[in-house]
Amino acid sequence: MIKENLDKILSELSSGNNLGEKITLVGATKFVDVDKINEAISYRLTHIGENKAQELRDKFDSYLPVYKHFIGRLQSNKLKYVVGKADCIDSVDSIDLAKNISEFAAKQGVIQNIMLEINVGGEENKGGFKESEAFSAYKAIKALGGVKIIGIMSMLPIESEEKVAEHTERLRAIYDTLKAEDENIEYLSVGISEDYKTTIKHGANMVRIGTAIFGARNYKV
């Protein structure tokens, strides 16, 4: 099943987004067994994303070679499980968190790749910078010594295709503004199993897909 699912998605993504950019597929691996993750890696999955710091810690030594993203809410007391281990922390949603990551990374002698999370839907139950804060947050965080910003990420509300398109285009405008300032900005990570086909039509160049690759998971664990 995993091979068939992955082949289908990779085929869909192979022509790029609406701007002709290559799309990076991140397999969202929350509550997925390492054996299944490694099966997907063996079938050409090159990026994975973990939501929970303890899961990344527990699975870390068992992954086949793969680029590891941390895509969940990161608490400062869990930095030791993620900083210097994840290749990128995609979910940096405050300047304070960025400072804590920077300080922790500096102590380890590493530069931690990060993305800025933008709450484009304005949802109170989700983290992330407001659209109006994106550029000032970028400036403040770019000045920190232990991190390198390589993109922006967003978790969109579950809404109509038209709303998903609108949100993605607004994020793309932020991305383009930041990329014009900084050649390190590479990724606009928007889109999950339910809406990735729409996001890539409107400027996303990275998508995070779990269920469509691995099937339904038990989130009550």
Write down the pLDDT at residue 117. 97
What would the mean pLDDT of 188-208 be, rounded to a whole number? 97
* Burial class (CB within 10 angstroms; exposed 0-12, middle 13-18, buried 19+) of 197: middle
Per-residue tokens: 1 = 């099943």
Mean pLDDT (the chain, rounded): 95
Per-residue tokens: 91 = 């979910």
Give the CATH number of domain 2-214: 3.20.20.10
The upper half-sphere exposure of residue 77, i.e. CA atoms within 13 Å in the direction of its Cβ, equals: 0
Write down the pLDDT at residue 220. 52
End-to-end CA distance of the chain: 23
Write down the pLDDT at residue 218. 67
Evaluate if residue 221 carries a pLDDT over 70: no
Q: Do residues 142 and 154 make contact, with C-beta atoms less than 8 angstroms apart? A: no
Write down the pLDDT at residue 172. 98
pLDDT tens per residue across span 19-65 = 999 999 999 999 999 999 999 999 999 999 999 999 999 999 999 99
Question: What is the distance between the alpha carbons of residues 149 and 159, in angstroms, rounded to a whole number?
Answer: 29
* Burial class (CB within 10 angstroms; exposed 0-12, middle 13-18, buried 19+) of 220: exposed
Does pTM top 0.85 for this prediction?
yes
In sequence order, the 6+-apart residues with CB closer than 8 A to the CB of 202 are 18, 164, 165, 168, 169, 172
pLDDT confidence band for 126 (50 / 70 / 90): confident
pLDDT tens per residue across span 145-188 = 999 999 999 999 988 999 999 999 999 999 999 999 999 999 99
In sequence order, the 6+-apart residues with CB closer than 8 A to the CB of 94 are 127, 129
φ, ψ for residue 63 (rounded to 5)?
-65, 140
What would the mean pLDDT of 114-134 be, rounded to a whole number? 92
Write down the pLDDT at residue 125. 82
Pairing of strands 187-190, 88-92: unpaired
**Domain-wise residue ranges, the chain:** 2-214
3-state DSSP of the chain = CHHHHHHHHHHHHCCCCCCCCCCEEEEECCCCCHHHHHHHHHCCCCEEEECCHHHHHHHHHHCCCCEEEECCCCCHHHHHHHCCCCCEEEEECCHHHHHHHHHHHHHHCCCEEEEEEECCCCCCCCCCECHHHHHHHHHHHHCCCCEEEEEEEECCCCCCHHHHHHHHHHHHHHHHHHHHHCCCCCEEEECCCCCHHHHHHHCCCEEEECHHHHCCCCCCC
